[in-house]
Structure 1
Amino acid sequence: MGIEMLTQPFPWKRYSRKLKARIDNPRNAGHFSVQDAKARGMRRVEGSDGGVEDGNTVRLYWLVDTDDGAIVDARFQVYGQSALIGAAEVLCDLLVGKNYDQARRIGTDLLDKELRDKSSVPAFPTETFPHLNLVIGAVDSAADQCLDIPLPIAYVAPPAPTDIGEVLDGGYPGFESMPLQKKLAVIEQVLESDVRPYIALDGGGVEVVNLLDGKELVIAYQGNCTSCFSAVGATLAYIKQVINAKVHPDLEVVPDM
């Protein structure tokens, strides 16, 4: 990665509105001291990537619960392009409540999706991708310092967001009268934007098997989800919540186990 790539300017107008707002008003900028960690009974973890000499660097500060590896708070400091601020800002929001293993499964695609104005339009210009990779590199650096902390025995489920976003009153407009293929396309769109990114954090996936009688959505889990007990618990409940809120309130979601 050359210094030219990392220091070239990016047109502000090509950032999404959400990204601009995070850059203008970052809430997670700062750091934690050793005293801060002691006062809260947490481990202070610091991870970084890049360098001032290269023109861009990011440093993450975590407060980690040594009982279960959960990140209870996160802050960042950056030097360089404004894209680093937006990426680190949304990353810190995503980190809180996850354990260090889940944290290292966050990818640049999830950071981008969190800040998109429209699902089909990237929030970050392609020129910023090296900067996004710096932020992810800092996550790996911090997570490596937590490997001695045991994860809960029951840890297998990917984290589900507490906010599912926009809820469509009555479901997707005209869903009931759509032909089957159109209904499946709507369901795929919702799964792709609101479900798969979070399940993928733990190496899992979900696919549509069928829509029976227009009322029963049959899904199949992939990857780690196939052996995860929450596949019929928390994960399934979250998928059903999203489908009911954004597709149709009466749809039943059934896993093909």
Structure 2
Amino acid sequence: MAKNDLLGGALWDAYSKKVSERMDNPTHLGVLTEKDAESKNAKLIVADYGAESCGDAVRLYWLVDKDDVIIDAKFKSFGCGTAIASSDMMCELCKGKKVQDAVKITNIDVEHALRDDENTPAVPGQKMHCSVMAYDVIKKAAGMYLGKDAADFEEEIIVCECARVSLATIKEVIKLNDLKTVEEITQYTKAGAFCKSCIKPGGHEKREYYLVDILRDVRAEMEEEKMKNVADASASGNLVFREMTLVQKVKAVEKTIDDTVRPMLIMDGGNMEIIDIKDTSDGHIDVYIRYMGACNGCAAASTGTLFAIESVLQERLDRNIRVLPI
């Protein structure tokens, strides 16, 4: 029976031709032995890695010469066809590289090398994790050769294995761009764009960090930092008007009016009071006032007096203030 019949046409079409070919006819499938190493005056490295999330496993064989160059690479894979194709391409990318350079190969490099064209993913998003095994077994082999722990090659906490996006990167992007949704995080970083396991609990595999939690925590940190800055500015007398609470804004406006306009209004038998202050969607701050006494109904209340009040508030508090008498 054809694979197209087994998998369904639509699903099979989600795999590149390169993946399909390497599933059936992997180029580097096999075993390297000590005898092979001796014949080529090289060192044999054998590394194993298993993915607990899906049960797949891969064994990687390297022959490394005296100059740290990987002169041959083979693999044995126990798992799905995608794991076989990814492992096969991983070996191809390793050959001819120094161990120190091979460890820089990522699962994204493997997946891109398996694409038929640059803009079409080689495998469905839910299978991207299969290429992660290739990345991890390379680290294992490099660690064995260089006498290091595989974790030494991972300097950051990786949240999205598919796109290899770190925790630090996600946090920084959220803060720099004031991101508010997981969809925005994916748009900016590609995290969560493939198997989606890192978005929230309950996905393809269990993760230590999820985008929903990171976003919540970073937004909370941002809000806490904002409130701290407001408090510090308030204590020093340098609080930005727009960042004040409604009560603080009313007090600031009242004080400004008391120091400037109100004495003149009272001299003419009038006065005014602050009714409300609202931030608008177009960036303005509307201050609603009510005229009292002689000012109520005065012709100047909607011209000169209004202009004087608005000007002094714009100058001393915020240039986007508009004064609206009611």
Structure 1 counterpart of 2:26: 26
**Runs (4+) off by over 4 Å:** 51-54
How far 1:108 moved relative to its partner?
Answer: 1.3
How far 1:129 moved relative to its partner?
Answer: 2.0
How many residues are aligned here? Answer: 140
Asked whether the equivalents of residues 52 and 79 of structure 1 are also in contact (C-alpha less than 8 Å), the reply is no
Alignment of 1:226-241 (within 5 A): none
Cα 1:88/1:98, change in 2 over 3 Å: same
Q: Secondary structure at the match of 2:29?
A: coil
How far 1:51 moved relative to its partner?
Answer: 5.9
Deviations 1:10-64 (A, max 9, x none): 9333110111112121110001111111121110001121169952101100000
Asked whether the equivalents of residues 77 and 84 of structure 2 are also in contact (C-alpha less than 8 Å), the reply is yes
Distance 1:139 1:37 in 2: 19
Distance 2:117 2:42 in 1: 38
Structure 2 counterpart of 1:91: 90
Letter in 1 for 2:36: D
Asked whether the equivalents of residues 22 and 89 of structure 1 are also in contact (C-alpha less than 8 Å), the reply is yes
Structure 1 counterpart of 2:43: 43
Distance 2:86 2:34 in 1: 25
Q: Secondary structure at the match of 2:137?
A: helix
Letter in 1 for 2:75: F
Asked whether the equivalents of residues 60 and 138 of structure 1 are also in contact (C-alpha less than 8 Å), the reply is yes
Asked whether the equivalents of residues 15 and 124 of structure 1 are also in contact (C-alpha less than 8 Å), the reply is yes
Asked whether the equivalents of residues 78 and 84 of structure 1 are also in contact (C-alpha less than 8 Å), the reply is yes
Letter in 1 for 2:132: N
Distance 1:131 1:24 in 2: 16
Distance 2:131 2:54 in 1: 15
How far 1:148 moved relative to its partner?
Answer: 5.3
Asked whether the equivalents of residues 16 and 123 of structure 2 are also in contact (C-alpha less than 8 Å), the reply is yes
Cα 1:17/1:104, change in 2 over 3 Å: same
Asked whether the equivalents of residues 48 and 139 of structure 1 are also in contact (C-alpha less than 8 Å), the reply is no
Whether 1:140 aligns to 2:139 is yes
Letter in 1 for 2:44: R
Whether 1:64 aligns to 2:64 is yes
Cα 1:124/1:54, change in 2 over 3 Å: closer
Letter in 2 for 1:122: P
TM-score by length of 2: 0.41
| Structure ID, larger Rg | 2
Structure 2 counterpart of 1:236: none
The farther-off stretch of 133-142 and 121-130 is 121-130
Asked whether the equivalents of residues 45 and 144 of structure 2 are also in contact (C-alpha less than 8 Å), the reply is yes
Asked whether the equivalents of residues 74 and 92 of structure 1 are also in contact (C-alpha less than 8 Å), the reply is yes
TM-score by length of 1: 0.51
Distance 1:139 1:101 in 2: 11
Distance 2:144 2:16 in 1: 34
Q: Secondary structure at the match of 2:144?
A: helix
Structure 2 gaps, min length 5? 1-6, 149-326
* Identity fraction in percent: 31
